[in-house]
Every structure is written in C-alpha cells, then in structure tokens.
Structure 1
C-alpha cells in the first residue's frame, strides 16, 4: 500500500513538473517573459490572444549579440517629453551614449532615464534603451524593441554588457490600449539584429 501511495505521489509530481516545463523558452529570460505573458494578471495580451497563447517567438539565442559597450554619460542633459503612441508625454533625460561594435559594424545608441522611475524605489536603477534595426517591420516589431539596463550594471570604467537576446516588445505591440514610448530615429541600427524577441503573430 505504501508503495502504491509513493508511486501515486511521484506520478502527481511528475505531471505537475511536466506542466511547468510546458511553457516554451530556451533561456531563463525567455521563460520568465513567457510566464508573465501567460499570467492574466500581468499579461498585456488581449483576452482572445491570451486564451491561445503558447509562447512568444524569439530569434535563436546567439552569443555574438552579447557585446561590451562603452558609455559616455551626457552632462547637464535637459528633461524632455518623450513621444508615445498616445497623447501621453512621459518625462525622460538622456543618460548617455553607448558605443560598441556588432558584427564588425561600429554602432551607437542613446540610452535614457525615466524621471518617473527615479521616484520609484523599485525602478530607480533602470535605464531605458529603445532601438530599431533592419529587421524592424519585418521579422521584428516595426516600432522597435526595448532593452532594460541597470545603472548597477555599469562598471567603474563606464563599460557594460548589452545582451540583444534579452530584448522585448513594447506592450502596444500586443494591445493598442497601452501607451508606449516611440523609438527616436537616432536609435536605428543599420544592420539586422537577429536576436531577442520577434514580432507577435496571432494564431
């Protein structure tokens, strides 16, 4: 009887474990993002899309899209209103410019700091890095992709690691009710970033 009970418990745990593993994702980052999208309390998806959601689409993980960048901080940057997909105008500051080489191409991106985040203990160390590239509007979302960078990631020599595998789409890529910052034109990369999140495709 004890053996039968033990087998039943193992079977139950195995089924639960398989259920947890059923969510797609090749990395911890992808799994966490998929988990957030699957959860109705945190998902930006419309109810009809949430019902059919099986996982987000990503480019294959590619270590060549993990690069070291040098940050040149912007001194005395003014606060400005960033354009969004709606009439909302959140306040940002230019934090600095990132210089790096990717696929043999010299690149630079401007990184920003939300003034609202500075007042939030949970997000005060977050920096905002939006960008478009030559996949935008085709394989990736036309409005660009985002990457979160932490001020705590910046080394003493003002370098940091950018991992383009860990990018995400603005919520308005999934639901027009959201207000999302528009990627500034100067943050376009003249190459294809075949890493990170792809364009959302409805089933």
Structure 2
C-alpha cells in the first residue's frame, strides 16, 4: 500500500493550476493510470494473486471526464482526536477527521469528511497526506462494491482539487489478507461517480 500512496501523491493537483488547463489535467490522469498499471505489473509491489498477476494487462478505467475533477472547499476540524477506523482485517489503522470537503457533482452538493493518518503524518514524506475514501451509486455494478480511495495533499489555503478520475481500489479488491479501511458511512456519495478504476469482481 505504501507504494500506491507514493503514486497517488505524485499526481495530486492543486487549485493554482488545475482545471484552468484541461490538457494538463488529462495528462495528469493518464500518467496516474500508467503508473498504477505499472505497479500492478511489478511482482514486488503488486497485490494481485499469482493467478491474477499472470493475466493482468491493465486496469479498467472509466473514460476520463473532467466534470469529476472538482474544486472543493476545505473546512478544518481543529482539535479532532485520532481513533481507530474499521478495517477488513486485524491491523488497526488510526485516523482523525482533518476536516470536511464541500463540492458539487451533477448539481448535488456534498459535504464529507477527509482523514489524516496518525502513522503517516509522522513520516516527513507523507506528513501532508490526506485520505479520502468514498462509496457511490456505481458500487457493486460499475465499480468495486466496497468503495474506492483517493489520495490528497493538505492545501496551502482552503481549497483543494479532488480528482475522481484518480480513484483507485483498495488492495482488498484483489486479494485476501489486507487490512483495508472500510469506507465510513459519512463518506457515501448519493451520486454515480463514473470516474477512476472501474468494476472489480469480488475475489
């Protein structure tokens, strides 16, 4: 999972240049897709089972759609405490609500939490990493049933770009034995997010 975080953060956008240049945005997304595919083809990094690894060629992505690249307002949650987030395994993962992000998709406005990892914030290279898990109306039919993740960076001001075209599956979508954070109910989006990694059958 650590390798995946590195890939995710490499392509996180900031409002200062995102959305004003659609060509750059599309290039960013394509680079993210390429790097994600390359990680899964690397036997030392891939979460795929031996059987799936032998047949893996690339992820199935929704077509790139910049309407799912949104500018969100970040409302901080100062003083929030860390607590365990439920996972699919035995490993405990501790997060705090860093704040809430407010954005709109298809005319619907959402205000949902974004999280900070206690473990990662103590490491200089990940100190500004934010975790944005979500579920949406495509889960179970067009995308992984348990939801998807997006990696973000703490912005310098109160705005940040959330690019759902860079949404990826938790490792648990591909193999057993991982302790993947379970998407909190507060992060359910009542809209179909047809962006990012597409359907993954339950292993």
Indicate whether the TM-score tops 0.5.
yes
Aligned mate of 2:138, from 126, 135, 138: 135
Q: Hey, what's the Cα distance between the residues in 2 that align with 1:188 and 1:94?
A: 15
What's the TM-score, normalizing by structure 2? 0.83
- Note if contact 2:89-2:177 (Cα within 8 Å) is conserved in structure 1: no
User: Who is 1:149 aligned against?
Assistant: 152
The worse-fitting range, judged by mean Cα deviation, of 116-125 and 50-59 is 116-125
User: Who is 2:181 aligned against?
Assistant: 181
SS of equivalent residue, structure 2 residue 165: coil
Q: Hey, what's the Cα distance between the residues in 1 that align with 2:48 and 2:125?
A: 24
User: Who is 1:200 aligned against?
Assistant: 200
User: Who is 1:50 aligned against?
Assistant: 53
What's the TM-score, normalizing by structure 1? 0.83
Is 1:114 equivalent to 2:151 in the alignment? no
Q: What do residues 92-120 of structure 1 show as CA deviations (whole Å, max 9, x unaligned)? A: 11100000111111112210000000122
Q: What do residues 105-145 of structure 1 show as CA deviations (whole Å, max 9, x unaligned)? A: 11122100000001222222211000000001111111110
Unaligned ranges ≥5, structure 1? 1-25
- Pairwise CA distance, 1:29: 0.7
Structural mapping, 1:1-203, within 5 Å: 27-151=30-154, 154-156=155-157, 158-201=158-201
- Note if contact 1:71-1:96 (Cα within 8 Å) is conserved in structure 2: yes
Q: Hey, what's the Cα distance between the residues in 1 that align with 2:45 and 2:126?
A: 17
User: Who is 2:4 aligned against?
Assistant: none
SS of equivalent residue, structure 1 residue 36: helix
Q: Hey, what's the Cα distance between the residues in 1 that align with 2:201 and 2:79?
A: 42
Unaligned ranges ≥5, structure 2? 1-28
- Pairwise CA distance, 1:55: 0.5
- Pairwise CA distance, 1:201: 4.5
Aligned residues: 174
Q: Hey, what's the Cα distance between the residues in 2 that align with 1:53 and 1:64?
A: 29
Which of structures 1 and 2 has the bigger CA Rg? 1
Q: What do residues 9-39 of structure 1 show as CA deviations (whole Å, max 9, x unaligned)? A: xxxxxxxxxxxxxxxxx71110000000000
